[in-house]
């Protein structure tokens, strides 16, 4: 059946291959300058040659992509001097890939490649004040790793998401506040906040070009693979912590929804300049699903903000269905697009509420830097110039809004901000003491499937 929705009919964007996992496959042309400012290197950074050292903690595709962004930034110089991961194989693959393109910026001998649950400490211990710990592994460990880096006086780049439950996010907020007291720079992987085009649209909104904003709506609808049954002989904890599997388990990552959709939810909070007061939702799974994971495959969530305005987000991970990846907003005067496929800065304002290329009132140009590049440009610039730069609390609050929507969908009832923010529910209460000898937080049933949220029965608040 032909799709006649306004968004797909008029301006469904091309799908550029710009996700973090594909960065290392791209060309490595040098990035020239910051997204927002030029660079002069003052004496603020103490190292004699002004080189900022990096420790990569979490060596999957996301970590490798972040390293490439740091290496490509003209606001360096940077050099990677340590790597850490739960598994040696992940370090080996990441090291090999990065050496192929960035050998001159890699100084990671075997004695500075650390494996295990405490590997992050050893990697951070290799850094000096002014250097950057890259926390790009699983959100289950984000808070405790941030705490350690802050205690050591080390700057941080941390990937999304930031915690699978509210207690972990409260820890992260507290660690971020301690970092602010020490004037540490903490970047959070919600890279769209560094988009020049989005800032320009927000400026026009503040000037009254769109009137009052009454609705933000966003979509992340694309096929995503499922979790197969654990192979015989594979250790349970290794299976749940494998780099290919982390989004399939709520305790490891918060689940696929929390991991992937935090960007759109952060955009809502950014546009509204507020956090929501309530969330309610409908979600489910296709009846023929063969997925062994904990994830549902379809979500429709509505957040209400303090002034009564709404933010809605629709998600579907199924193949052979309509695909869409964008954020739109509606004001009393007109509508606009805020974000495009794979977070590209596709930003445009329409003459009224109709979406169509023949109805565009203003369109932002192609951005000079991708959001990922711009984020690293700005972080490194802040380190060199000693500018305030701490995104920890803001990121954690957007993550709480994210968990509100997830809980509303999983539990089948309205969830309030205060209820989510103050929740003491934890998926893995012993996360700090976890080792490879620990009992896995989850156990599969006889069919090899893990517990799936059942609305009306499930609890995660």
Res. 21: pLDDT tops 80: no
Q: Which two tokens stand for residue 77?
A: 């110089």
Q: Which residues contact 456 (CB under 8 A, 6 or more apart)?
A: 411, 412
Question: How many Å separate Cα 35 from the centre of its chain?
Answer: 20
Residues 129 and 46: beta-carbon distance below 8 Å: yes
- Is it the case that residue 26 has pLDDT exceeding 80? no
Q: What is the mean pLDDT of residues 395-422?
A: 98
Task: Kindly give the residue spans of alpha helices, DSSP state H, lying in 254-367.
Answer: 255-272
Instruction: Name the β-bridge partners of 219.
Output: 314, 326
| % of the chain with per-residue pLDDT over 70 | 90
Residues 6+ apart with CB under 8 A from 78: 51, 52, 53, 54, 70, 71, 105, 132, 380
> Could you count the other beta carbons within 10 Å of the beta carbon of residue 294?
22
Are 45 and 52 a contacting pair, CB within 8 Å?
Answer: yes
Chain Cα centroid distance, residue 159 = 6
Average confidence (pLDDT) over 37-44: 33
CATH T-level assignment (fold) for domain 20-192+374-390: Rossmann fold (3.40.50)
**Where do we find the tokens 């654990």?**
230
The pLDDT of residue 5 is above 90:
no
CB 203 within 8 A of CB 270: no
pLDDT at 88: 97
Neighbour tally for 436: CB within 10 Å: 11
The stretch 206-226 carries a mean pLDDT of 97
**Sign of torsion over alpha carbons 313, 318, 320, 325:** positive
pLDDT tens digits along 306-360: 999 999 999 999 999 999 999 999 999 999 999 999 999 999 999 999 999 999 9
pLDDT band at 191 (very low <50, low <70, confident <90, very high): very high
pLDDT for position 35? 39
- What is the distance between the alpha carbons of residues 446 and 130, in angstroms, rounded to a whole number? 51
Cα gap 185→385, rounded to integer Å: 11
Please check the confidence at residue 30 and state whether its pLDDT lies above 50: no
The domains of the chain are located at 20-192+374-390, 195-367+399-433
Average confidence (pLDDT) over 393-410 = 98
Which residues sit opposite 52 in a β-bridge? 78
Instruction: Give yes or no for residue 459 having a pLDDT over 70.
Output: yes
109 vs 104: CA distance, rounded Å: 13
Q: Is 17 helix (H, G, I), strand (E, B) or coil?
A: coil
Each residue of 52-75: pLDDT tens digit?
999 999 999 999 999 999 999 999
Instruction: Report the sign of the C-alpha dihedral through residues 411, 413, 416, 422, in that order.
Output: negative
Give CA separation, 122 vs 119, 185, 277, 436, in Å.
5, 20, 41, 18
Give SS3 for 58.
coil
Whole-number pLDDT of residue 142? 98
Q: Is pLDDT above 80 for 41?
A: no
Mean pLDDT taken over the chain: 91
Q: Which of 177, 179, 166, 193 is nearest to 407 (CA)?
A: 166
For residue 199, pLDDT over 70 is answered with yes
pLDDT of residue 42: 32
User: Could you tell me where the DSSP H helices lie in 317-459?
Assistant: 371-385, 392-411, 417-421
The stretch 48-53 carries a mean pLDDT of: 85
Percent of the chain at pLDDT > 90 equals: 89
pTM here? 0.90
Domain 195-367+399-433 fold: Dihydrodipicolinate Reductase; domain 2 (3.30.360)
Across 371-387, average pLDDT? 97
- Per-residue pLDDT of 235-266, as tens digits, reads 999 999 987 899 999 999 999 999 999 999 99
Q: What share of the chain is helix, strand, coil (3-state, %, to 5)?
A: 40, 20, 45
Confidence of residue 372 (pLDDT cuts 50, 70, 90): very high
pLDDT of residue 48: 55
Q: How confident is the model at residue 18 (pLDDT cuts 50, 70, 90)?
A: very low
Q: Would you state the pLDDT for residue 7?
A: 40
């Amino acid at each position: 059946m032909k799709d006649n929705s306004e968004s797909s009919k008029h301006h469904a964007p091309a799908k550029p291959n710009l996700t973090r996992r594909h960065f290392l496959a791209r060309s490595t042309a040098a990035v020239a300058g910051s997204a927002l400012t030029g660079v002069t290197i003052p004496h603020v950074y103490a190292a004699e040659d002004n080189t900022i050292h990096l420790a990569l903690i979490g060596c999957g595709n996301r970590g490798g992509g972040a390293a490439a962004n740091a290496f490509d930034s003209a606001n360096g110089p940077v050099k990677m001097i340590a790597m850490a991961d739960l598994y040696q194989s992940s370090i080996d693959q990441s090291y090999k890939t990065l050496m192929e393109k960035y050998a001159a910026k890699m100084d990671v001998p075997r004695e500075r490649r650390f494996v295990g649950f405490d590997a992050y400490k050893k990697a951070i211990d290799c850094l000096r004040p002014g250097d950057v710990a890259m926390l790009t592994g699983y959100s289950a460990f984000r808070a405790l790793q941030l705490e350690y880096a802050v205690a050591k006086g080390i700057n941080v780049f941390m990937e999304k998401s930031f915690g699978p439950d509210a207690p972990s996010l409260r820890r992260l907020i507290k660690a971020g506040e301690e970092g602010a007291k020490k004037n540490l720079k903490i970047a959070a992987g919600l890279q769209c906040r560094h988009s020049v085009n989005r800032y320009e649209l927000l400026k026009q909104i503040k000037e009254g070009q769109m009137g009052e904003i009454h609705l933000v709506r966003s979509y992340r609808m694309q096929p995503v693979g499922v979790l197969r049954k654990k192979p015989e002989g594979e250790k349970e904890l290794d299976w749940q912590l494998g780099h290919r599997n982390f989004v399939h388990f709520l305790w490891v990552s918060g689940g696929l929804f929390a991991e992937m959709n935090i960007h759109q939810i952060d955009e809502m909070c950014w546009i509204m300049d507020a956090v929501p007061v309530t969330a309610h939702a409908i979600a489910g799974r296709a009846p023929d699903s063969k997925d062994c994971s904990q994830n549902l495959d379809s979500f429709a969530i509505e957040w209400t903000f303090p002034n009564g305005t709404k933010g809605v987000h629709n998600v579907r991970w199924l193949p052979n269905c309509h695909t869409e990846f964008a954020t739109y907003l509606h004001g009393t005067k007109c509508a606009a697009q805020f974000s495009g496929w794979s977070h590209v800065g596709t930003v445009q304002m329409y003459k009224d509420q109709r979406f169509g290329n023949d109805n565009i009132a203003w369109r932002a140009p192609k951005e000079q830097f991708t959001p990922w590049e711009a984020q690293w440009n700005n972080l490194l610039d802040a380190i060199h110039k000693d500018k305030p730069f701490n995104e920890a609390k803001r990121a954690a609050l957007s993550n709480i809004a994210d968990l509100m929507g997830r809980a509303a969908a999983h539990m089948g009832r309205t969830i309030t901000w205060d209820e989510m923010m103050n929740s003491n529910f934890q998926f893995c209460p012993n996360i700090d003491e976890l080792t490879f000898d620990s009992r896995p937080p989850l156990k599969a049933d006889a069919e090899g499937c893990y517990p799936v949220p059942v609305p009306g029965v499930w609890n995660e608040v």
